[in-house]
Amino acid sequence: MGSLHLSYADKLELRKNSLWQDDRLSYEVSVNDYIIDGLDMVHTNRNKFVSCFLWGQLLQNLRDLTPTQITDFFRGAYSWFYYNEKTAYFDAYFVDKLRQSQWLLTKHGTWASPRDITVTELDDSYDKSGVGAHELISRLRFKPDLEEQLVAQMSEEDREKFQITKEILNSGISPEDLRGVLEQIKNQKLSTVVWNPQLPPTGAPINIVPHQPVSNAPVQPNQPPIPKPPSPPPPPKPVIIAPPPVPTNRKEIGKWGEEYVFEALKQEYKEGNNLELTDFGFKVVSRSNENVEVIWLNKESDTGKGYDLIVKVDDKDMRYIEVKTKQSEDPDLVAMSGTQWECAREFGDLYWLYVVSNAGNDESKITPIQNPHKLWGEGKLYAHPVNIKL
């Protein structure tokens, strides 16, 4: 379909700000822009039912999409030819329309556009939970509240401290207990040992071991029981998911684990043709003639997504990998954030935990765990505790 709101000046600006930073063209190829049927009715016949219905339909459309498809859902594409075909992206017409129009009902009973209110001011009739809702809220660019504005100005370290402070305040810990914890931390700082891995991730041998589901974890409600074999073997060491104490060098250890998994993925596809390193990973043609791309999201800085790497096959997201790294092989508490657990639920079999054990030495190994949310529901993965937002 043709452009609904791109002017000549808009197209010129898109070409200038594209990867090629060149506004010249031989001819235009296409402009794909998108609308929502019946969108104008939301403004001419504005009421709570219509507004909430539109919100719900947008969430429904996002529910089964991959992150790449979600990005495409909200944007249009402009293509032109100059020596070869080039493409730049822009916010779709319906996105601009929704941002500017007063179609949302506030808790005070007034109508407002997303840019004029914060999410907390939005009426409770709108579903604001889940990955799809978070994406919609982000794309509509709601007015940031005071806390978000302050956090946006903080450094990464200060943001982490702020988040930990909020968790402490919400935990119900007494001032006396908190003082005791602070005293322990001060004492620990005096004896802190800097983590020095024996080997870099690129030098450690790659070892992949299969995950052995636990047989003694409780089955979650509304899940079918797991039949017991007549002569069950001794239960293997469980993978436990829960917030652990924060180690001093967890960033360095975590970074080592991510790079180790990245090297393992390179080895997985080493027999492919023309492996080409990119800014954030690599591309390769597999032995089965599939175009594979691995994207390491946190290569330069932490993106805050619910996963660390994406494996794409023929431009389709096939694996979302969250890396968890431990210094030992013993069962340990492996922390999963709310965002990571929600992604595990949303993406199902596409979501993987890659648990790196013995990080930093020649006995390092990776245990891939597919669909941890499902395994937990079936009683094959032990979790303690579970924090629920109420």
Can you give the pLDDT at residue 131? 73
pLDDT at 255: 92
The SS3 call for residue 123 is coil
Q: Residue 3 has which token pair?
A: 């452009």
In the prediction, which pLDDT does 317 show? 92
Query: Which residue matches tokens 């898109």?
Result: 14
- Does residue 241 have a pLDDT over 70? no
202 pLDDT exceeds 50?
yes
pLDDT band at 3 (very low <50, low <70, confident <90, very high): low
pLDDT at 48: 92
Per-residue confidence band for 320, with pLDDT thresholds at 50, 70 and 90:
very high
Helix (H, G, I), strand (E, B) or coil at 321: strand
Region 221-242: mean pLDDT is 47
Rounded Cα distance, 123 and 144, in Å: 16
**3-state secondary structure (DSSP) of residue 33:** coil
**Which one is predicted more confidently, 133 or 237?**
133
Band of the pLDDT at 217, cuts 50, 70, 90? low
pLDDT score at 390:
55
Tokens linked to 53? 């219905």
Chain mean position to CA 32: 27
Record the pTM.
0.50
Mean pLDDT of 242-270: 80
Q: What are phi and psi of 95, to 5 degrees?
A: -65, -50
H helical segments located in the chain = 8-16, 39-44, 48-63, 67-73, 93-100, 130-140, 146-152, 156-171, 175-190, 250-268, 338-347, 372-377
How many whole angstroms separate alpha carbon 302 and alpha carbon 131? 18
324 in Cβ contact with 218 (< 8 Å)? no
How many Å apart are CA 352 and CA 318, to the nearest integer? 10
Residue 311's pLDDT is what? 96
List the domain boundaries for the chain: 8-149, 240-383
Phi-psi region of 265 (alpha: psi -120 to 50; beta: other; left: phi over 0): alpha
> What span, in angstroms and rounded, lies between the C-alpha atoms of 371 and 351?
5
Cis geometry, peptide bond prior to residue 331 (ω within 30 degrees of 0): no
Q: What is the Cα–Cα distance from 252 to 270, expressed in whole angstroms?
A: 27
**Which residues lie across from 86 on neighbouring strands?**
80
Q: Do the Cβ atoms of 184 and 177 come closer than 8 Å?
A: no
Q: Residue 239 pLDDT > 50, yes or no? A: no
CA distance 129 to 172: 24
pLDDT of residue 137: 92
Q: Which residue has the higher pLDDT, 92 or 250?
A: 92
Contact by Cβ (8 Å): 351, 307: yes
Kindly state the percentage of the chain with pLDDT values over 70: 86
Q: Quote the pLDDT of residue 366.
A: 96
Dig out the tokens for 365 from the structure. Answer: 């190994």
pLDDT of residue 309: 96
Q: What is the pLDDT of residue 175?
A: 81
Cβ contacts of 387 within 8 Å, gap of 6 or more: 243, 338
Model confidence over 135-191: pLDDT tens digits?
899 899 998 877 777 877 777 778 788 888 877 777 777 888 888 877 877 776 655
Residue with tokens 């393992």: 264
197: alpha, beta or left? (left if phi > 0; alpha if psi -120 to 50): beta
Record the tokens describing residue 162, joined without a space: 């702020």
> Which of 351, 382, 349, 355 minimizes the C-alpha distance to 368?
355
- How far is residue 178 from each of residues 46, 185, 361, measured CA to CA in Å? 51, 11, 36
Could you write out the DSSP letters of every residue in 324-360?
EE-SSSS--EE---HHHHHHHHHHGGGEEEEEEESTT
CA dihedral 154, 165, 121, 143 (to 10 degrees): 10
Highest mean pLDDT among 17-21, 37-41, 266-270, 350-354: 350-354
**Higher pLDDT among residues 4 and 253, named by residue:** 253
> pLDDT tier at 40 (50, 70, 90 boundaries)?
confident
pLDDT above 90: percentage of residues in the chain: 44
pLDDT surpassing 50 at residue 90: yes
Distance, C-alpha 323 to centroid of its chain:
12
Q: What is the number of other CB atoms lying within 10 angstroms of the CB of residue 64? A: 9
Q: pLDDT tens for residues 338-369?
A: 888 889 998 999 999 999 999 999 999 999 99
The pLDDT, as a whole number, for residue 337 is 84
Mean pLDDT value across the chain: 83
In this predicted model, what pLDDT tens digit does every residue of 279-303 receive, in sequence order? Answer: 899 999 988 888 999 999 988 888 8
Section 79-91 average pLDDT: 92
Q: Do 352 and 320 touch, CB atoms closer than 8 A? A: yes
**Among candidates 284, 112, 259, 143, which has minimal Cα distance to 197?**
259
